[in-house]
C-alpha cells in the first residue's frame, strides 16, 4: 500500500508513506476501528482511490503476455496418418488415464490428491482468461475461489441477510445447485472489482487485486453471513448427485473431472471465437480494437466476470473436497493467489492445457513424492525461475517445441511438394481491383461525410489543436499536411474520440462528439495509425476477424454452450476473412502472427480490416510509411481503388508530397495546431503560408518522395 502511495516509482516516498500508514493505522485501531480486519478494507478503498487518481496522468503500466506463439502445423502433416490424428490419440489416452487412475489406485488419500489437482486446475483456468488472454495480472483469483466456496456453503445450509433494505432468509439448496449459483454471484462481484480497475492494468491492477485479497482474508470472509460466527472455517457437506453419494472420494473425483472437462471445452470454444480474439486484441492494442467497434470496457468486464465465475466453481469444489471452507490457514488466502500465478506460469498461462499441466506439476508431484527433497524445489521457486527464464510459455511451450520438431522431421522425409509457391502480396497487384486511372475523379460532395468544427485539444496547459475546422465531402479524399508536431495526428485522434476534445464532430450527418471510439466506429469511422502495430499476438486471419465483429458480435452464451447459431456465426466470420485475405493477396500470410510481418504487409492488413469494418469515412495516418518510393507511387491508385470499392471518403496524413498531391481532392495544412490553409492541391502547393511553414522554397521537396529505393519492403516487392 505504501508503494502505491509512492506511485510505484519512488523508494524514499514509499518509506515515508509506510511510516505514515503505520502511525495512522495505530491511531485508528486504538481510537476508532476496533473491528478486526476493518482497517484492511478501508485500505483497499484507499488504494482504489489513489490508483484511480494516478491512472489519470499515467495509464501506461504495460500488460502481461506470457503466451507462446503456437506455429500452425504444416499442411503436409495431414498426409501422415499418425501425425494427423495425434491430437485425438493424445486426448483419448489422457481421458483413459484420468478414468483409470482412481480405479487402479484405491487409496482414499491418493484419490483426495487427484481431486485436489483437478480443483486447482479449474481455479488456474480463470487465470488463463484474465491474465493469459486479457493481460491483466490478477492476484485475487484464489480469493474469488474462496468467495465461491463461502457462497456455496451459505446456499447449501441456508442463510439470513439483514443489510440495509435486504432482509430475507434464503432456503437450503442442493450442493450441485449452489455451485453454479455461487459462480454467478462471484462473477458479478468480479465485475464490480473490474469496474474499479478499468483504468489500470499491469502492476497497478496486480496491487489493487492483491489488496482486495488481503481485505477479504482479514475482514470480508468473517462477516456473519459467511462465517456464522466460526473463527476458522465453515463446514460444507457434499450431498448427493441424484442417488449417487458424493461422500465417496472416487465419486467426487469423477464429478470434479466432469466439471473440469466442461470448463475446458467452454474456455476452448471462447478462445477460438470472436470473444477470445477480441479479448486478446484489447490486451495488445485497445485503441485499434476500439477502432474496430470492440469496446475495451465491455471486453475487460466480460473477462473479469468469466474468470471470477470459473474461480468460484473451482473454489466451491475444492471446499467440498475437504467438506470445509478454511479462511484462516489455507487455500483461499492472499498468498495462495500468488501460488496460483506460479502454477499457471509453469504450466503455460495462455495454453489450453497449461493450467492442467501446472496443477499436476505444482500440486500433484509434491503430494505423490512427499519424501523427495528435490521435487518441491523444482515444482516451486526453482522451477518457476527456469520456466520464466527459458520457457516463458511454460511446460506447454516445451510440448509445442517437441511437436514442431517431429512435424518438421516427418514432413522433411516426404517427397518434394511440386505445387507452385504462393505469390507475395504487392501493391501493384491490388490496383487492378478498381479503376486506378481515375485519380482526378471528384466524389459526390453534395453533403459532407465528416465535419469537424472548432476542435481543440489540450494536454495539461499545452494546446495541441487550436480551434481547427475541417470537412470531408462524400467520396472525397482530403489530405492533411504539416510539420512534425503540427497537430495532425492529434486532430485525427480527436475526430476518432481517442483524446478528450472540445468542438463538434459530425459523421455522416450524426453528431458523434460525445460518443466513444467504438461507437464512432459503429457509425462508419475507420482509423489507421502511424506504426501499424495492430494485434501482435493474433494471426492475420484472426486480426481481420476482429474487425469483422463490426458486422455482428459473437454471442457469448451461445458460443460457450455450443449452440448452432454460434457455429454459423464463426463459419461466416471465417469465410468473410478468407475472402478478404484472397482479395488482397494475403493468402501466404493468413496464418503467421502480425508481429512477424513486415511494415508494408501490416499496412495491407490494415486495409483489409477497413474493408471488413465496412467504414464510410477513413482516417489514415501516414499509410505509406515504411514503403519504398516505387511502392508509394502505386499506393495512391490503391487507395483510390479502396475508395471506389467501399464508396468511402478519406482524410489522409502524409509526408510524401507527390503522393498526397496526386490523390487528394483538397488539402489542409496545419501549423501549431491551427489550420493555416486549405483548398485544391494546386492552390496549397503555391500558398505562401504553406511554403513558409512546411514546403520550403526547394522544389525537390515537392517533386520527390523522401523514401529511398534501399528501404524497399521485401514483403511487397
**528 sits in which H/E element:** none
The CATH topology of domain 35-404 is: ABC transporter involved in vitamin B12 uptake, BtuC (1.10.3470)
Mean pLDDT (whole number) for 422-438? 42
pLDDT, residue 217, reads 83
Instruction: Mark residue 475 as left, alpha or beta (left: phi above 0; alpha: psi -120 to 50; beta: remaining).
Output: left
Encode pLDDT of 218-255 as tens digits. 878 888 777 777 767 788 777 777 777 788 889 899 99
Nearest to 595 by CA among 16, 67, 140: 67
Q: Which three cell numbers stand for residue 194?
A: 473490474
The residue with greater pLDDT, 94 or 63, is 94
Question: Which residue has cell 476518432?
Answer: 496
- pLDDT, average across residues 283-310: 92
d(Cα 663, Cα 640) in Å, to the nearest integer? 7
Query: What is the C-alpha to C-alpha distance for residues 690 and 609, in angstroms, rounded to an integer?
Result: 34
Q: pLDDT grade, residue 116 (50/70/90)? A: very high
> Comparing C-alpha atoms, which of 695, 706, 666 is closest to residue 479?
666
CB atoms within 10 A of CB 434: 18
Alpha-carbon distances, residue 282 vs 65, 80, 130, 287, 478 (angstroms): 12, 38, 12, 8, 30
More confident: 386 or 434: 386
pLDDT the model gives residue 280: 93
Q: What is the CA radius of gyration of the chain?
A: 29
Q: What is the DSSP letter of 244?
A: E
Query: pLDDT tens across 601-646, in order?
Result: 888 898 889 889 888 999 998 887 766 666 666 777 778 887 877 7
CA 562/CA 269 separation, integer angstroms: 8
CA nearest 623: which of 707, 515, 517, 693? 707
Better pLDDT: 120 or 50: 120
pLDDT of residue 445: 45
d(CA 261, CA 255): 10
87-101, 119-133, 533-547, 698-712: least confident range: 698-712
CA end-to-end span of the chain: 55
pLDDT for the residue numbered 648: 87
How far is residue 81's CA from residue 382's CA, in Å, rounded to a whole number? 40
Residues 6+ apart with CB under 8 A from 369: 375
Q: Distances in Å between the alpha carbon of 50 and those of 1, 3, 6, 44, 209?
A: 10, 11, 10, 10, 14
98, pLDDT greater than 80 = yes
pLDDT digits (tens, 9 = 90+) for 706-717: 433 333 343 333
Confidence of residue 417 (pLDDT cuts 50, 70, 90): low
Look up residue 715 and give its three cell numbers. 514483403
Domain 428-524+617-716 in CATH 1.10.287.110: no
Quick one: pLDDT at residue 247? 82
- Residues 380 and 363: their CA atoms lie apart, in Å, by 10
d(CA 449, CA 616) in angstroms, rounded, equals: 8
pLDDT confidence of residue 65: 56
What would the grid cell of residue 252 be?
Answer: 467426487
Place of cell 486532430: 491
Angle at 459 between CA 457 and CA 465, to 5 degrees: 30
pLDDT at residue number 366: 84
The C-alpha atoms of residue 55 and residue 70 are separated, in whole angstroms, by 34
CA distance 101 to 94: 11
| pLDDT cut 70: percent of the chain above it | 79
Per-residue exposure over 169-182, b if at least 16 CB sit within 10 Å of its own CB, e if not: eeeebebbebbeeb
- Cα–Cα distance, 376 to 354 (Å, whole number): 19
Residues 435-472 have pLDDT tens digits of 333 334 344 444 789 999 999 999 877 889 999 999 99
Check residues 32 and 604 and name the one with the higher pLDDT.
604
- Does 407 have pLDDT greater than 90? no
Does position 212 have pLDDT exceeding 60, yes or no?
yes
Q: What are phi and psi of 98, to 5 degrees?
A: -60, -40
Q: Do 428-524+617-716 and 35-404 fall under one CATH topology?
A: no
Query: pLDDT-based confidence at 11, cuts 50/70/90?
Result: low
CB 51 within 8 A of CB 4: yes
CA 391 to chain centre: 22
Nearest to 281 by CA among 71, 65, 137: 65
| Res. 299: pLDDT tops 90 | yes
Looking at the DSSP bridge assignments, the partners of residue 593 are 539
Over residues 673-693, mean pLDDT: 88
pLDDT digits (tens, 9 = 90+) for 462-513: 889 999 999 999 989 999 998 888 889 999 999 999 999 999 999 998 999 9
Phi, psi of 461 (to 5 degrees): -100, 5
Q: In the prediction, which pLDDT does 690 show?
A: 86
Instruction: Give whole-number Cα distances, 607 to 15, 497, 604, 624, in Å.
Output: 52, 20, 5, 12
Mean pLDDT of 201-210: 75
d(CA 18, CA 26): 12
What is the domain partition of the chain in residue ranges? 35-404, 428-524+617-716, 534-614
**Residue 521 pLDDT:** 92
**Rounded mean pLDDT of the chain?**
80
State the cell numbers at 131: 491474465
**What is d(CA 315, CA 183) in angstroms, rounded to the nearest whole number?**
10
Which among 268, 259, 275 has a CA at the least distance from the CA of 122?
259
How would you classify the pairing of strands 324-326 and 233-235?
antiparallel
For residues 665 and 442, the answer to whether their CB atoms sit within 8 Å is yes
Instruction: Tell me which residue of 544, 546, 470, 543 sits closest to 503, measured CA to CA.
Output: 470
Residue for cell digits 482511490?
A: 49
Contact status, residue 652 vs residue 639, Cβ threshold 8 Å: yes
Q: How far apart are CA 324 and CA 85, in angstroms?
A: 43
Q: Residue 57's pLDDT is what?
A: 47
Angle of helix 141-157 versus helix 334-347 axis, rounded to 10:
120
Q: Which residues, including other chains, have CB under 8 Å from residue 12's CB and lie 6 or more apart?
A: none
At residue 59, the pLDDT reads 46
Cα–Cα distance measured from residue 599 to residue 54, given in angstroms and rounded to the nearest whole number: 34
Average pLDDT over residues 326-354: 84
- Which tops the pLDDT comparison, 596 or 26? 596
How far is residue 401 CA from its own chain's centroid?
25
pLDDT (mean) for 158-180: 77
Contact 400/393 with Cβ under 8 angstroms? yes
pLDDT at residue 427 greater than cutoff 50 = no
| Cβ atoms of residues 625 and 671 within 8 Å | no
In this prediction, residue 164 carries a pLDDT of 61
Q: What is the mean pLDDT of residues 76-89?
A: 84
Which grid coordinates are listed for 582?
Answer: 484472397
Closest C-alpha among 593, 598, 604 to residue 536: 593
Contacts of 442 (CB under 8 A, 6+ apart): 475, 476, 665
Q: How confident is the model at residue 430 (pLDDT cuts 50, 70, 90)?
A: very low
On whether the CB atoms of residues 352 and 271 are closer than 8 A, the answer is: yes
Name the DSSP class of 363: I
Q: Which is more confidently placed, 133 or 162? A: 133
Amino acid at each position: 500500500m505504501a508503494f502505491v502511495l509512492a506511485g510505484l516509482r519512488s523508494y524514499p516516498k514509499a518509506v515515508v508513506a509506510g511510516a505514515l500508514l503505520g502511525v495512522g493505522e495505530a491511531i485508528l485501531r486504538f481510537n476508532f476501528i476496533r473491528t478486526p480486519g476493518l482497517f484492511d478494507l478501508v485500505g483497499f478503498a484507499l488504494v482504489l482511490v489513489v490508483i484511480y487518481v494516478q491512472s489519470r496522468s499515467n495509464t501506461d503500466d504495460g500488460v502481461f503476455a506470457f503466451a507462446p506463439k503456437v506455429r500452425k502445423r504444416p499442411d503436409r502433416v495431414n498426409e501422415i496418418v499418425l501425425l494427423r490424428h495425434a491430437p485425438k490419440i493424445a486426448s483419448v489416452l489422457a481421458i483413459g488415464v484420468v478414468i483409470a487412475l482412481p480405479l487402479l489406485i484405491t487409496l482414499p488419500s491418493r484419490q483426495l490428491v487427484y481431486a485436489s489437482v483437478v480443483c486447482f486446475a479449474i481455479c488456474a483456468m480463470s487465470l488463463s482468461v484474465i491474465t493469459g488472454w486479457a493481460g491483466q495480472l490478477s492476484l485475487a483469483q484464489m480469493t474469488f475461489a474462496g468467495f465461491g466456496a463461502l457462497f456455496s456453503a451459505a446456499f447449501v445450509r441456508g442463510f439470513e441477510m439483514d443489510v440495509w433494505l435486504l432482509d430475507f432468509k434464503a432456503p437450503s439448496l442442493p450442493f450441485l445447485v449452489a455451485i453454479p449459483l455461487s459462480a454467478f454471484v462471484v462473477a458479478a462481484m468480479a465485475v464490480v472489482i473490474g469496474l474499479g480497475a478499468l483504468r489500470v492494468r499491469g502492476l497497478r491492477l496486480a496491487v489493487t487485486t492483491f489488496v482486495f485479497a488481503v481485505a477479504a482474508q482479514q475482514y470480508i470472509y468473517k462477516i456473519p453471513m459467511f462465517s456464522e460466527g466460526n473463527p476458522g472455517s465453515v463446514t460444507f457437506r457434499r450431498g448427493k448427485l441424484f442417488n449417487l453419494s458424493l461422500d465417496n472420494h472416487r465419486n467426487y473425483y469423477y464429478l470434479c473431472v466432469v466439471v473440469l472437462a466442461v470448463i475446458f471445452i467452454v474456455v476452448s470454444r471462447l478462445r477460438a471465437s470472436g470473444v477470445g480474439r477480441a479479448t486478446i486484441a484489447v490486451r495488445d492494442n485497445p485503441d485499434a480494437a476500439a477502432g474496430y467497434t470492440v469496446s475495451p470496457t465491455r471486453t475487460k468486464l466480460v473477462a473479469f466476470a468469466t474468470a471470477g465465475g470459473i474461480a468460484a466453481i473451482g473454489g466451491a469444489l475444492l471446499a467440498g473436497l475437504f467438506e470445509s471452507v478454511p479462511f484462516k490457514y489455507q487455500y483461499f488466502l492472499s498468498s495462495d493467489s500468488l501460488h496460483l500465478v506460479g502454477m499457471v506460469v509453469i504450466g503455460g498461462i495462455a495454453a489450453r492445457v497449461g493450467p492442467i499441466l501446472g496443477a499436476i506439476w505444482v500440486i500433484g508431484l509434491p503430494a505423490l513424492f512427499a519424501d523427495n527433497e528435490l521435487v518441491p524445489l523444482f515444482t516451486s521457486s526453482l522451477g518457476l525461475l527456469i520456466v520464466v527464464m527459458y520457457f516463458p510459455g511454460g511446460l506447454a511451450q516445451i510440448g509445442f517445441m517437441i511437436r514442431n520438431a517431429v512435424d518438421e522431421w516427418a514432413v522433411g522425409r516426404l517427397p518434394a511438394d511440386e505445387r507452385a509457391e504462393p505469390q507475395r502480396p504487392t501493391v501493384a497487384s491490388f490496383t487492378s481491383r478498381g479503376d486506378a486511372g481515375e485519380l482526378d475523379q471528384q466524389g459526390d460532395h453534395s453533403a459532407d461525410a465528416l465535419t469537424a468544427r472548432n476542435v481543440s485539444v489540450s494536454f495539461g496547459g499545452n494546446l495541441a489543436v487550436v480551434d481547427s475546422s475541417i470537412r470531408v465531402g462524400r467520396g472525397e479524399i482530403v489530405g492533411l499536411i504539416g510539420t512534425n508536431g503540427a497537430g495532425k495526428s492529434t486532430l485525427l485522434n480527436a475526430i476518432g474520440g481517442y483524446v478528450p476534445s472540445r468542438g463538434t464532430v459530425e459523421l455522416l450527418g450524426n453528431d458523434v462528439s460525445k460518443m466513444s471510439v467504438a461507437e464512432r466506429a459503429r457509425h462508419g469511422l475507420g482509423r489507421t495509425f502511424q506504426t501499424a502495430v495492430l494485434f501482435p499476438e493474433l494471426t492475420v486471419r484472426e486480426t481481420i476477424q476482429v474487425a469483422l465483429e463490426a458486422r455482428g458480435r459473437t454471442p457469448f452464451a451461445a458460443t460457450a454452450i455450443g449452440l448452432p447459431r454460434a457455429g454459423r456465426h464463426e463459419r461466416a466470420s471465417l469465410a468473410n476473412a478468407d475472402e478478404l485475405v484472397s482479395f488482397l493477396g494475403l493468402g501466404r500470410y493468413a496464418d503467421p502472427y502480425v508481429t512477424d510481418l513486415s511494415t508494408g504487409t501490416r499496412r495491407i492488413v490494415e486495409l483489409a480490416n477497413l474493408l471488413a469494418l465496412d467504414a464510410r469515412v477513413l482516417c489514415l495516418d501516414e499509410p505509406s510509411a515504411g514503403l519504398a518510393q516505387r511502392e508509394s507511387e502505386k499506393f495512391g491508385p490503391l487507395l483510390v481503388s479502396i475508395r471506389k470499392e467501399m464508396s468511402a471518403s478519406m482524410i489522409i496524413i502524409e509526408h510524401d508530397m507527390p503522393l498526397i498531391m496526386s490523390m487528394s481532392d483538397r488539402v489542409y495544412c496545419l501549423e501549431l495546431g491551427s489550420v493555416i490553409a486549405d483548398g485544391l492541391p494546386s492552390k496549397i502547393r503555391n500558398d505562401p503560408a504553406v511554403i513558409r511553414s512546411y514546403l520550403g522554397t526547394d522544389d525537390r521537396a515537392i517533386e520527390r518522395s523522401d523514401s529511398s529505393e534501399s528501404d524497399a519492403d521485401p514483403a511487397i516487392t
